[in-house]
Structure 1
Amino acid sequence: MSDAAATTSTLATPTARSFTANRLFPMLRAGLRTAETFSPTSAAARVAARVFCTPVPTKLATRHFRPPTGVRVESMPFENASLTLYRWPAPADAPMVLLTHGWGGWGLQMAPLAEALAERGLAAVTVDQPGHGRSGAWHSTLAQFARALGYLGDRLGPLRGVVGHSMGGSSAAVALSRGLAAERLVTIASPTDLVQVTRDYANAFGLRETTRQAMVRYLEAREAVVFEQMSAHRTAPRLAQPTLVVHDRADTAVPLVEGLKLQALLPQAELMLTDGLGHRRLLKEPAVTQRVAAFLA
């Protein structure tokens, strides 16, 4: 299951973090089914796209987290939103690493990794993607994630590496395949197929295949990108950077098979497997943060 599918899975699975989202799921499902029943396919597709592009839980659940002491917070306009950056202290000439969260995540979620990088003398910068954390807007897409990384790469200068969790890793691969300048790539628990994301979403909400296809066509036209072109089997041949693929065997949001597929598509990639950490806890696991820092340093 992909990260967007993980969102619907979170909606359907009661957890402390997703209690509000869990209560919303039946309402959203009922609303989408009603749109399918009483609206033209094109209108139902737009409603489905709106829900598909809305992070759950919303940024209100995470934007109150305070950065560690000494971390500088910056904001810059970007498209119809904004980007919030968190810069860890580093020497002026330190090689820079850009870290991005996944769908429904937030920049400070990457703090343990950023701190490990800072200890190695690297300049760590994490970002709240559009619609997440302290950044503007309430909606986003994988394509916009990738455009944001490309924009930040141009703004920040040459990057030692890019680190992405879940959909953040997928968007990093897309950005690198389109010219983002970075020496190395780290993906953590990342999905490989955006088209499958839409299938998982449609299955979770009980949408008809015609609605799913119309939603994809609507979003492709709006974002000026074909979803198939953002999948790993399309981006991987254009990636020459040394890559570290991190995945947990017990990840139920993005199953291990996704990490194995990515590693197989990237012959130059190293594979790090963990046990019992799931989809998010590996972000603060010392063995993971130290391996990532060593790989980038």
Structure 2
Amino acid sequence: MSEKIYFNTSHKFSVKKSLVSLTTRLHHTIAPKHAKKTARKLLLTPARTKPKNAEPVGLIKSEVQCQEGILKTYQLGTGPVWILTHGWSGSASQFYPLMEHIASRGYTALAYDHPGHGQSGGVYGHIPAFVHGLEAILDSVDQVAGLVGHSMGTASAIECHHQKLVDKPMLLIAPVLDYLDNLFGSVARSGYSMRLFKAVVSEVEDQYRYPIQSIDPYNKLKIRRAQTIIVHDQGDKFTKYSESKRAAEEMDQVKLVTTHGQGHGRVMKCPEVMASFDELIA
């Protein structure tokens, strides 16, 4: 259900949206505790999607423990390690074609399922959980050559302050650089009670001591000095191409590669992504 909320881009009036608004506001008024419990399950539970691509030959599966539970990892190739971090309701399997390309270039591709995603443990998904998961993966390897992120995985990667990422290049695919506007705008468009949504957000903030207003991928990308290439489809319906374009115009270390007709998901295995990785390792 959360997919339908976060990936809702329609600004049109609908009876369903009005009913969602009415019922969620009424629920929060009549039974606030139960409403927050229900909302947490609805808003923070990602869809566990089936694998998107066939497993590459030689894929090594393992596990890494983090505070959210067991994270399933998928490794291919040998050599310096590139970390691959997927987005909301995604999985590591979306990266299999790119992992094969990375391995063919003499590197190790290490992808993983975020907490609450794919085959990993955990129930809920949000930026604090994504960041903690990424930190656990980074702690599990000796050195990192770079990072590839997609969608919400890009936001958590930029948010992560782990020392192993400080001076490392990044390949950001369909990034969410305007995370707060994207998040609150999507929930508002769904008709869901914003008051109830903010109550759930407040609980997560308190639990993780992670103020949501501190999440600012765009401006944190601006202060990174390492090379970054963004691959973004101009027609992406879920993350704003305009923000990627602005970043490339304003930030000397950021380059934008524009695709057409690849959307938000297919872009992950398009030729432009493969070529951009080659450019980063050249």
For 2:28, give the aligned amino acid: E
1:265 is displaced (CA, Å) by: 5.5
2:31 maps to: 39
Length-normalised TM-score, structure 2: 0.86
Shift of 1:260: 2.1
- Tell me if 1:83 matches 2:68: no
Residue 230 in structure 1 maps to residue 221 in structure 2: no
The question of 1:166 aligning with 2:151 is answered yes
Change in Cα spacing, 1:34 to 1:75, as seen in structure 2 (3 Å) is: farther
CA distance in 2, matches of 1:63, 1:31: 35
In 2, distance between residues paired with 1:254 and 1:64?
Answer: 20
How far off is 1:232 after superposition?
1.7
Do 1:49 and 1:219's aligned partners in 2 also have CA atoms closer than 8 Å? Answer: no
Count of aligned positions: 276
Which residue is 1:16 aligned to?
A: none
Kept in 2, the 8 Å contact 1:248–1:279? The answer is yes
Q: CA deviation at 1:290?
A: 2.6
Deviations 1:165-210, CA, capped at 9 Å, x for gaps:
00011111111x4534352111110112332233124314423443
- 1:277 CA drift (Å): 0.6
- C-alpha RMSD over aligned residues: 2.9
Aligned twin of 2:13? none
1:8 aligns with 2:5: yes
Structure 2 CA distance for aligned equivalents of residues 64 and 119 of structure 1: 21
The answer to which of 241-250 and 137-146 deviates more is 137-146
- What is the TM-score normalised by the length of structure 1? 0.82
2:138 corresponds, among 153, 159, 167, to 153
Match of 1:293 in 2: 278
- The structure-2 alpha-carbon separation of the partners of 1:253 and 1:11, relative to structure 1 and needing over 3 Å to count, comes to closer
Q: 1:168 to 1:7 in 2, by over 3 A?
A: farther
Instruction: Tell me if 1:72 matches 2:60.
Output: yes
Amino acid at match of 1:81: G
Q: Do the aligned residues in 2 keep the contact of 1:150 with 1:179 (CA within 8 Å)?
A: no
Shift of 1:32: 3.5
1:1-297 pair list within 5 angstroms: 7-8=4-5, 10=7, 32-40=24-32, 44-55=35-46, 58-59=47-48, 61-62=49-50, 67-90=55-78, 94-175=79-160, 177-181=161-165, 183-264=168-249, 266-297=251-282
> How many percent of aligned residue pairs carry the same amino acid?
25
How much does 1:145 deviate?
Answer: 1.0
Alpha carbons 1:75, 1:83 under 8 Å: kept: yes
> How far does the alpha carbon of each residue in 1:239-275 deviate from its partner, in whole angstroms, 9 at most, with x for none?
2211111110010111211322443564311111111
The 1:205/1:10 distance shift into structure 2, 3 A limit, reads closer
8 Å Cα contact 1:232-1:262 kept in structure 2: no
How far off its partner does 1:213 sit?
3.0
Query: Structure 2: which 5+ runs fail to align?
Result: 11-16
Q: Is the 8 A contact 1:5 1:197 kept in 2?
A: no
